[in-house]
A and B are shown apart, each in its own frame.
Chain A
Amino acid sequence: MNTINSYAHIKYNQVSVNGEIVFQSNPSLSLAEFLSEAYKALGVSYPKFHKMDAQCKLGFLCAEFALKETSFLTENDLTKTAIVLSNAASSLETDRIHQHSIDDRSNYFPSPAVFVYTLPNITIGELAIKHKITGENAFFVSEQLDANLLVNYTESLIQSGSEAAIVGWVEVDGANFEAFIFLSEKQKDTNKNAIFKPLNQTSVITIYNQTIWTH
């Protein structure tokens, strides 16, 4: 059976892991400020984080929080670990930043470091680079979290050779942002601190709605 063994959710300047809020910042902080605070709270040193756009930072943090207390990365074959993400806005926020940098022909200095993030699946790339994950990947754009799509696609990957998957939603559009990532793998008895929910649409919707946000 394929299971969901850990998940993280970031919204309203708060981070929850397996339904429990583990970090929250002042709700008045901007997204950039919140991401910086959450990075410090995570307690990892990964200088490349600071070069990422907001969407990649958000996806990176959400995945890190989901992975933190698990043995997911050590117990799965990373060449057979998939990453499946989705959102509604694609890379719109970074697209806007890039557009702004080329609006004025007299002050025309487009940034290569911004431009490389004008694709949503770069978020997958950042996770893959960080953890040396080389399995299948896909990024879907849909109006809202499509649990059915994510579950069906992950199941199909697992049926065709993948052994585990990092799956979810990473969205940044202006001041609105949300990330929700769960870890799915074949059920093992050795996973410490893991929750075990069957990988299906009901489980995904249940865990997505589980966190009680405080503001």
Chain B
Amino acid sequence: MDALIEKLKGQIIEQLNLAEVKPEEINPDSPLFGEGLGLDSIDALELIVLLEKHYGIKIQDPKDGKTIFQSLRTMAEYIKSQGKS
């Protein structure tokens, strides 16, 4: 799980152009939206693209996004649960 979280950190920084954020600054349990990384609605769409592009996962129900993208850890757990890590 830790390796996947570290991989996700790099992918998120690249995909979301978080040029001023270092991987070690991202707490895997901090909220991705609102506080924490302070991501916005466009970033949410980018995260959906990231899951599809890198892990072949399509989120079928947009309502699931709220749970999946709660934190880096919940994202990693979701990827694992889909057997795509």
Contact = CB atoms under 8 A, between A and B. Distances in A.
Nearest to A48: B40
Interface in B6-20: 16-20
B16 A113 contact: yes
Given A109-B49, A109-B53, A47 B20 contact: yes
B13 to A, nearest CB: 10
B43 interface: yes
Interface string A109-129: 111110010000000000000
Interface residues of A, number: 10
Interface residues of B, number: 14
Interface string A178-202: 0000000000000000000000000
A110 B48 CA distance: 11
A111 B49 CA distance: 7
Interface string B35-51: 00010001101100100
Contacts of B16: 51, 113
Nearest to B52: A109
A68 interface: no
Given A112-B42, A113-B42, A116-B42, A50 B49 contact: no
A113 B53 contact: no
A34 to B, nearest CB: 15
A44 B43 CA distance: 23
Nearest to B53: A109
A62 B43 CA distance: 26
Given A109-B52, A109-B53, A50 B46 contact: no
